Chains A and B, each alone.
Chain A
């Protein structure tokens, strides 16, 4: 790699309009951002998680901001794969950038089942397999903490689709390098490093948490060094592309993640405040690279 890194990105045999992807759960399926006029600078949109059956999600409150980041406990709320195919995908056939569908499951079988159904649509260019969800067969431990399970899920998905897919790994338990190598040998086209970190906020006055499930997914610009380290470790070991996810709030952050070995960089929580963050980051990067 040469430094500073180039923002021209070639992955899966195609040139993406930018190295930035919108992280799952922060961009819907892209329709709202398209309506707001905020897809400039976006290399790809990753949809919110889709499951086999509809999921109404966790009881509110589902989000809580802490001093330096955001806790979320959405619970994979989504209308289920059939409604996604019938109602949501037709609304985003005119996205100006590729769409990856994030897929979640309660059992290993559900991943290939959802992917196979989605494969009947030409709208998604590929998939992101979310292995951070609890595996019912493993007593609720995340799929992603067991490399053999990651390999199994990856190979099951690889058997049902010709489209590329990335496996979104969890930073919560397990060895991410082992999990990434397992995804690669299962046939994954990339790995996403990483998902939200488990976090919790307790009101010390009452001992209570705002979020009903107590423990939630934590995102924050302050997590950047953790993501950089994980991306660097994983990218040093696998030969498939690594897509970073987490910690980005500036153009410098994006370039740092590319320098760590990320092929593409996801932006998520930043969109909550600035829906047009991708365009803003790309303009910042252009300035950084030309001055």
Chain B
């Protein structure tokens, strides 16, 4: 039988760790010669070898170094519960890298604005680009993803367990955003919508947004993962994104639809 396409592979699980309550970090060894992902791209994970679940689960590439790919996920349902039960030494099948990642064109340092676990994927970006600041928000310290970076990180938590007590928008002062050449935004929809609306309008053209959506295929055919865009209609999270220019997204329609 012909081998599955090169973008699909069985990866050895090098480690699986619970980094926050209910949040897992899995390091996967890609087979030699596998295509290297670009920051912001994602992989489709097969949570089990059985018939169910019938779809894969999409995850941003959290970090990537010398053939080792990391994903971070929250156990929210059956698929992720199955994934959390896969231990080091076993295999996890992934299809990827998929989608369009962060657009690196243009000058100036990056400022990363992340909400909760949405900030996990920033590690790969931090390892790749010049960054001048990271702004993180979460419900509490137990939902703040640890990031390895030398650039300044400021945080806000709703319960005050880390950094400023309050919403992320309360720490998005002009001093924080000064000099940004790129702004990367990732997190829950309500948080991203609030940040988008709080940003000075003149900065909107440099904002890129890493979106998420319930997905069927992940490779562009099923039209399941639609994101509302201007001037109307939808684009596909999986192949047109998952990273979009903030100005492309129709935030009001997206917020109304939910994810």
Interface residues of A (CB under 8 A from B): 25-28, 32-33, 36-38, 40, 48, 56-57, 59-65, 67-70, 72, 74, 77, 210, 212, 219-221, 249, 269-276, 279-280, 283
Contacts and interface: CB of A to CB of B under 8 A. Distances in A.
B222 A63 contact: yes
Contacts of B52: 67-68, 221
Contact of A60 (B55, B219, B222, B227): B227
Contact of B222 (A26, A36, A38, A210): A26
A221 B51 CA distance: 8
A276 B8 contact: yes
Contacts of A72: 216, 222, 224
B201 interface: no
Contacts of B51: 221, 249
B220 interface: yes
Given A25-B222, A27-B221, A57-B223, A36 B215 contact: no
Nearest to A284: B1
Chain B interface residue bracket vs A:
35 or more
Given A56-B233, A221-B54, A62 B226 contact: yes
A65 B219 contact: no
Contact of B1 (A61, A64, A280): A280
Interface in B38-65: 46, 51-56
A179 B227 CA distance: 37
B106 interface: no
Contact of B55 (A62, A65, A68, A283): A65
Contact of B224 (A37, A62, A69, A220): A62
B213 A60 contact: yes
A274 B45 CA distance: 11
A59 B221 contact: no
Q: Which 10 A-B pairs have the closest CB atoms?
A: A63-B224, A28-B221, A283-B1, A56-B233, A37-B5, A272-B55, A77-B223, A60-B226, A60-B257, A59-B257
Nearest to A38: B5
Given A61-B214, A272-B217, A273-B56, 16 more contacts: A25-B223, A32-B219, A33-B221, A36-B219, A37-B5, A59-B253, A61-B259, A62-B224, A68-B52, A70-B54, A221-B54, A269-B54, A269-B55, A273-B53, A274-B4, A275-B5
Contacts of A219: 54
A40 B54 contact: no
Contact of A63 (B215, B232, B253): B215
B224 to A, nearest CB: 4
Contacts of B233: 56
Contacts of B7: 36
Given A32-B221, A275-B5, A63 B257 contact: no
5 contacts: A64-B214, A249-B51, A269-B54, A273-B56, A275-B95
A61 B54 contact: no
A48 B224 CA distance: 13
B258 interface: yes
Contacts of B6: 37
B228 interface: yes
A26 B55 CA distance: 12
A74 B223 contact: yes
B100 to A, nearest CB: 15
A3 to B, nearest CB: 25
A108 to B, nearest CB: 25
A189 B240 CA distance: 38
B148 interface: no
Contacts of A280: 1
B49 to A, nearest CB: 11
Contact of A61 (B78, B222, B257): B257
B150 interface: no
Given A59-B257, A60-B227, A72-B224, A271 B217 contact: yes
B46 to A, nearest CB: 6
A212 B259 CA distance: 11
B225 interface: yes
Contacts of B56: 272-273
Contacts of A210: 214
Interface in B240-259: 253, 256-259
Contacts of A32: 219-221
Given A56-B232, A59-B257, A275 B219 contact: yes
Nearest to B47: A273
Interface string B13-48: 000000000000000000000000000000000100
A249 B225 CA distance: 23
Given A61-B213, A77-B234, A279-B1, A28 B220 contact: yes
A281 to B, nearest CB: 11
B158 to A, nearest CB: 22
Contacts of A40: 2
Contacts of A77: 223, 226, 234
Nearest to B232: A56
Contacts of B224: 62-63, 72, 74
A25 B220 CA distance: 11
